[in-house]
Chains A and B, each alone.
Chain A
Amino acid sequence: MTTAAELLAGIPELAGVEPVTRVTIPARLEYTYSPGSAQTRFLTALPDKRLLAERCPRCTRVYVPPRGACPTCGIAATEQLELPHTGTVTTFCIVNIAAKGLDVEVPYCYAYVLLDGANVGLHARIGDTPYADVRIGQRVEAVWNEQRLGPSLASISHFRPTGEPDADPESYRRWM
């Protein structure tokens, strides 16, 4: 396989110069994002430390954050409800590579938390515990970010273990 240096060697004015081997080209997309009316209700309740959800009138699944419709049944989700701040870890990973622009120190634990009464996991960070102890079925509760309460998921700093016994796998098996 030919190299850039070999190709450059044949051109008098470029022979011997350090060849370019890589180029960094950021792909950047700028949006104005609107979360819609259902998620707006969810987000504007966060400063009051309230977790709002919706239930599908047909399949009875409870979605959080709510999207205004049931993606399984394709019908409007009409019933609003409020969920507790406790839930169960249904899956998790340890993140070791810092994402650009994210002000969280690595490593950190990222998980799906199935809030009690919900049928979809909420993305959240797990903290206040050694990562080696985090496990599927672990019971956790929300820790609110008192300094940053606002219409954003940043209102929840992270979830921490409650110390309760692990949840019965039957309680979350269908919603992993």
Chain B
Amino acid sequence: MPPEVLSAPLIVEFPFTRSTGPVLGAFLTGLRERVVLGARGSDGRVLCPPAEYDPVTAEELTELVPLGQLGTVTTWAWNERPRPYQPLDTPFAWVLVRLDGADTALLHALDAPRHAVRTGMRVAIRWADERSGAITDIACFEPAPNAGAPGDSHRAEGSAA
């Protein structure tokens, strides 16, 4: 009889260090200082996360604007079983959040009960206690303290739900 086939854990890890460039470097610096920056495009739209090049003209973008600490969920997906290294270790929603002052949405995690999560929901940034200039400086989003206030949820499609 052949021996039982072996198996063992195998972990492959590449400790990549990347240079961040002017726009993402400024964006990450902002996060470290609790300020979220967007980039203004040639058509006047504010993009967050900021793009390095204009989506319309492909020119370099150099005008960065601070955005609000509140935003609106534009879509979401529920994550019932978080995996290691995800932002939260309890069930949470992956959300696209359009921060006040921005015209595009940022992907992050929302710490809220499943029944409370909806498109058009108002959410607030929960900052990490220790920040180093990384997207994880935003620990996650959480329901805005005055949830239910008008805000700008009229701009979210499907907000009637």
Complex partner residue of B62 from A2, A20, A32, A39, CB under 8 angstroms = A2
- In the complex, whether A37 has a CB less than 8 A from a CB of chain B is yes
Interface residues of B in 1-50 (CB under 8 A from A): 2-23, 25-26, 28-30, 32-33, 35, 37
B134 CB–A CB distance under 8 Å: yes
Q: For chain B, which range describes its interface: under 10, 10 to 19, 20 to 34, or 35 or more residues?
A: 35 or more
Q: In the bound complex, what is the Cα–Cα distance between A22 and B60 (angstroms)?
A: 20
Binary interface profile of B, 113-146, with partner A (CB < 8 Å = 1, else 0)? 0000000000000000000011000000000000
Measured between beta carbons, the chain B residues less than 8 angstroms from A26 are 13-16
Chain A contacts of B17 at CB under 8 A? 22-24
Distance in Å from the Cβ of A43 to the closest Cβ of chain B? 6
Number of A residues near B (Cβ < 8 Å) is: 40
Inter-chain contact A19/B14, CB cutoff 8 Å: no
The 0/1 profile, CB within 8 Å of B marked 1, for residues 94-124 of chain A is 0000001100000000000000000000000
Interface check A147, CB cutoff 8 A: no
The reply to whether A20 and B85 contact each other, CB–CB distance below 8 Å, is no
Query: In the complex, which of the residues B16, B21, B22, B66 has the most CB atoms of chain A within 10 Å of its own CB atom?
Result: B22
- Residues of A contacting B: mostly: mixed
Bound-state Cα–Cα, A50 to B39, Å: 64
The residue among A21, A29, A151 with the most chain B CB atoms within 10 A of its own CB is A21
Which residues of A are in contact with B by a Cβ distance under 8 Å?
Answer: 1-4, 6-8, 10-11, 13-14, 17-37, 39-41, 43-44, 100-101, 151
Closest 5 A-B residue pairs measured CB to CB? A4-B25, A20-B133, A33-B10, A20-B28, A34-B7
